[in-house]
């Protein structure tokens, strides 16, 4: 089935900047659902979740770091909200704790 959308020109000074009605609707929906989150809130969420999952499993910070293959001070810094861990680091920690990456972020 072919569905045609009528294009809307977005910026007259930009050649080829076309959006479709469906895209406009999606953009407006995203704007109304979007929540402003600060980096401090994200750090806090990650820190609390990491500490909670680690405590539930009875794993020390040093042991978690060793098994995950990250520096031992990294786990401490994450839990004290002093660093912005990479996705790779968070994924390693999540795998060792047997949780999804999204569980650390939510």
User: Could you state, in order of their start, the residue ranges of all structural domains in the chain?
Assistant: 1-34, 39-105
Q: Are 42 and 78 in contact (CB under 8 A)?
A: no
pTM over 0.95: no
> In the 8-state DSSP scheme, what is residue 83?
S
With vertex at residue 71, the alpha carbon angle to CA 81 and CA 83, rounded to the nearest 5 degrees, is 20
94 vs 1: CA distance, rounded Å: 42
At 29-87, the pLDDT tens digits run 655 555 778 999 999 999 999 999 999 999 999 999 999 999 999 999 999 999 999 99
Domain topology for 39-105: 434 Repressor (Amino-terminal Domain) (1.10.260)
- Phi/psi-derived region of residue 69, left when phi > 0, alpha when psi is between -120 and 50, beta in every other case: left
């Amino acid at each position: 089935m072919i569905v045609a959308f009528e294009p809307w020109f977005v910026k007259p000074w930009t050649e080829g900047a076309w959006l479709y009605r469906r895209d406009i609707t999606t953009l407006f929906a995203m704007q109304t659902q979007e929540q402003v989150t600060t980096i401090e809130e994200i750090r806090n969420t990650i820190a609390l979740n990491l500490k909670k999952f680690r405590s539930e499993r009875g794993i020390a910070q040093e042991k978690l770091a060793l098994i995950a293959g990250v520096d031992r001070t990294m786990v401490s810094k994450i839990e004290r909200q002093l660093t912005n861990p990479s996705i790779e680091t968070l994924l390693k920690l999540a795998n060792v704790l047997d949780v999804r990456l999204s569980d650390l972020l939510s």
